[in-house]
């Protein structure tokens, strides 16, 4: 594959075509410059992609054995690694990710493909004891055509985890990447054709959410929808899929806490308290945006956090600083509105990083900000900012810490820092979250680890072996011995 490629084309049935709806511009968030175009897929394009996926599922791709799908995924993983530098460069330009973070996403994409490639021939069903004159077994079967609606913040990781698992399970896929960040998904699809995936196994329809995304979620030929994005759109997608009774996996937002107790290993905790909140300029669903600090270490930790914040620098993604820009002018405005409302309400700013002086004026930069103490019910403590902002809340007792941690509508990830083993496991049970880290925090990490939310963070699990179950349906076969 040679890059750059003709990014304005969409992929249907193994063919690169122009979209019925024309094109959309591609912006580099580091400079605001327009660097290319992507297809603006229409409902007609989406219908053609779903039909192509159905034909692949009922044809060549659907006839492959598990180990053959596994080989294709493994070959794709190798191609991703062979093109790591080109993919990294695309993501640096398209998403504004600092180089090191973009490179980590490429590695994660390859790991998902390796993991699900290895799992494709290990999707065992079960046998079930019943009456003695029966043999009962349950088969794990693919849904058929699965839709994947992808956000802009981690395109490669989210394509890897959802599309990788869906293909391993034998589904043919239609991917709708985010309008702000489609390039790496288009490059991924080119590599998939090179790896030998049959036509129609992977289709890509870039475009606007309310056009291509809405058409895909509502299409009656789609048998499962995997959606990652905002709560508001997730609800609309689930409602659209409900009209044709398709199951949905929703990976939505978060307001994930780290709880730091007086007995914590602060040397280990401090770097992760900051990094887990500001990775990808805070545009991470599992970002740890709330830091809950026990009273005895509150002042000491706040001072140490402030020191770290003052050393943080945001600037052009290619310079590989601590933070790149946020994705768009619109996102920057949305984040600033929340920040300004917090300041106007009198929430103290504890520390701030800086935007480098020579950052291009057209880029969407924000200096990272640490607020605290924030009132637990305030918007800054409750709403997902999805930007480089963390808030600090003090607590006295373990009970209060749990109540604060569980005191939002979200429940994605939580981290607990304490040397008390009893407390670690007590809290692991009490915290409302899909993942709990003890003396660690893994924002977006862990290909092998089931991931997903409770409450407004969504439902269903991706990553790990668990995701394969989500991309299959169980058929029970009952044979009577006559």
Q: Tell me if 301 sits within 8 A of 394, measured CB to CB.
A: no
Total of chain residues touching ligand NAD, rule CB under 6 A: 27
Question: What is the distance between the alpha carbons of residues 10 and 238, in angstroms, rounded to a whole number?
Answer: 25
From 213, 221, 257, 353, residue interacting with ligand NAD (rule: CB under 6 A) = 213
Question: Residue 8 catalytic?
Answer: no
Q: Tell me if 37 sits within 8 A of 24, measured CB to CB.
A: yes
Q: Tell me if 280 sits within 8 A of 96, measured CB to CB.
A: no
Looking at beta carbons, which residue is closest to ligand NAD?
209
Q: Tell me if 299 sits within 8 A of 399, measured CB to CB.
A: no
Q: Tell me if 409 sits within 8 A of 252, measured CB to CB.
A: no
Task: Please report how the helices 66-82 and 99-119 are oriented relative to each other, as an axis angle in degrees rounded to 10.
Answer: 160
Question: What is the distance between the alpha carbons of residues 171 and 394, in angstroms, rounded to a whole number?
Answer: 48
Residue 355: C-alpha distances to residues 315, 318, 323, 368 (Å): 6, 14, 9, 9
Binding mask 355-394 for ligand NAD (x = CB under 6 A): -----------------------------x-x--------
From 52, 163, 202, 214, residue interacting with ligand NAD (rule: CB under 6 A) = 214
Smallest separation, CB 433 to ligand NAD (Å): 12
Residues 91, 114, 211, 285: which is the catalytic one? 285
- Would you count residue 253 as binding ligand NAD (CB under 6 A)? yes
From 153, 171, 256, 288, residue interacting with ligand NAD (rule: CB under 6 A) = 153
Report the first-to-last Cα separation within the chain, whole angstroms. 58
From 233, 281, 385, 402, residue interacting with ligand NAD (rule: CB under 6 A) = 233
Question: What is the distance between the alpha carbons of residues 391 and 384, in angstroms, rounded to a whole number?
Answer: 11
- Would you count residue 251 as binding ligand NAD (CB under 6 A)? yes
Smallest separation, CB 47 to ligand NAD (Å): 15
Token pair recorded at residue 274? 């900051």
- Would you count residue 252 as binding ligand NAD (CB under 6 A)? yes
CB neighbour list of residue 77: distance below 8 Å, 6 or more residues apart: 110, 111, 112, 113, 114, 117
Q: Which segment (94-102, 232-240, 342-350, 416-424) binds ligand NAD by CB under 6 A?
A: 232-240
From 152, 261, 417, 437, residue interacting with ligand NAD (rule: CB under 6 A) = 152
Measured from the CB atom, is 114 or 251 closer to ligand NAD? Answer: 251
The DSSP annotation for 81-114 comes to HHTHHHHHHHHHHHH---HHHHHHHHHHHHHHHH
Measured from the CB atom, is 190 or 463 closer to ligand NAD? Answer: 463
From 53, 169, 217, 366, residue interacting with ligand NAD (rule: CB under 6 A) = 217
Decide: residue 271, CB within 10 A, 0-12 exposed, 13-18 middle, 19+ buried: exposed
Question: Residue 285 catalytic?
Answer: yes
Residues 27, 179, 251, 384: which is the catalytic one? 251
Smallest separation, CB 152 to ligand NAD (Å): 5
- Would you count residue 230 as binding ligand NAD (CB under 6 A)? yes
- Would you count residue 414 as binding ligand NAD (CB under 6 A)? no
From 237, 326, 392, 402, residue interacting with ligand NAD (rule: CB under 6 A) = 237
Smallest separation, CB 327 to ligand NAD (Å): 8
Question: What is the distance between the alpha carbons of residues 440 and 283, in angstroms, rounded to a whole number?
Answer: 20
Residue 198: C-alpha distances to residues 170, 300, 311, 330 (Å): 12, 58, 50, 39
Token pair recorded at residue 442? 């893994």
Measured from the CB atom, is 136 or 338 closer to ligand NAD? Answer: 338
Query: Would you name the residues annotated as active-site residues?
Result: 251, 285
Sites of contact with ligand NAD (CB under 6 A): 149-154, 176, 178-179, 209-210, 213-214, 217, 228-230, 233, 236-237, 251-253, 285, 384, 386, 458
């Amino acid at each position: 594959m040679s890059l750059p490629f003709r990014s304005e084309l969409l992929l249907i049935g193994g063919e690169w075509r122009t979209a019925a709806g024309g094109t959309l511009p591609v912006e580099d968030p580091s400079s605001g410059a327009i660097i290319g175009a992507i297809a603006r897929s229409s409902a007609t394009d989406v219908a053609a992609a779903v039909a192509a996926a159905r034909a692949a599922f009922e044809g060549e791709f659907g006839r492959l054995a598990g180990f053959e799908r596994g080989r294709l995924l493994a070959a794709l993983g190798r191609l991703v690694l062979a093109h790591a530098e080109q993919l990294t460069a695309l993501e640096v330009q398209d998403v504004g990710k600092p180089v090191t973070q973009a490179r980590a996403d490429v590695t994660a994409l390859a790991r998902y493909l390796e993991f699900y490639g290895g799992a494709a021939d290990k999707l065992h069903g079960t046998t079930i004891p019943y009456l003695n004159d029966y043999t009962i077994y349950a088969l794990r079967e693919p849904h058929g055509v699965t839709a994947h609606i992808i956000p802009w913040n981690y395109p490669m990781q989210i394509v890897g985890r959802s599309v990788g698992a869906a293909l391993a399970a034998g589904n043919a896929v239609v991917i709708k990447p985010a309008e702000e960040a489609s390039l790496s998904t288009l490059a991924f699809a080119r590599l998939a054709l090179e790896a030998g995936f049959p036509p129609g196994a992977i289709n890509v329809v870039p475009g606007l959410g309310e056009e291509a995304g809405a058409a895909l979620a509502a299409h009656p030929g789609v048998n499962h929808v995997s959606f990652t994005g905002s709560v508001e759109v997730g609800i609309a997608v689930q409602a659209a899929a409900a009209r044709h009774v398709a199951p949905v996996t929703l990976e939505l937002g978060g307001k994930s806490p780290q709880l730091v107790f007086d007995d914590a290993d602060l040397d280990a905790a401090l770097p992760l308290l900051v990094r887990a909140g500001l990775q990808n300029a805070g545009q991470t669903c599992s970002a740890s945006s709330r830091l809950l600090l026990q009273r005895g270490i509150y002042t000491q930790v706040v001072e140490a956090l402030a020191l770290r914040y003052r050393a943080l620098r945001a600037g052009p993604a290619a310079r590989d600083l601590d933070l790149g820009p946020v994705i768009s002018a619109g996102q920057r405005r949305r984040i600033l509105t929340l920040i300004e409302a917090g300041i106007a309400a009198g929430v103290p700013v504890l520390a701030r990083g800086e935007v480098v002086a020579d950052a291009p004026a057209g880029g969407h930069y924000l200096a990272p900000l640490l607020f605290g103490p924030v009132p637990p019910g305030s918007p800054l403590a409750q709403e997902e900012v999805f930007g480089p902002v963390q808030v600090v809340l003090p607590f006295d007792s373990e009970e209060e810490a749990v109540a604060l941690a569980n005191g939002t509508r979200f429940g994605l990830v939580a981290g607990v820092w304490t040397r008390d083993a009893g407390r670690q496991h007590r809290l692991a049970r009490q915290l409302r979250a899909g993942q709990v880290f003890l003396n660690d925090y893994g924002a977006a990490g862990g290909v092998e680890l089931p991931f997903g939310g409770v409450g407004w963070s969504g439902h269903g699990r991706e990553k790990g072996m668990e995701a394969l179950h989500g991309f299959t349906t169980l058929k029970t076969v009952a044979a009577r011995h006559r």
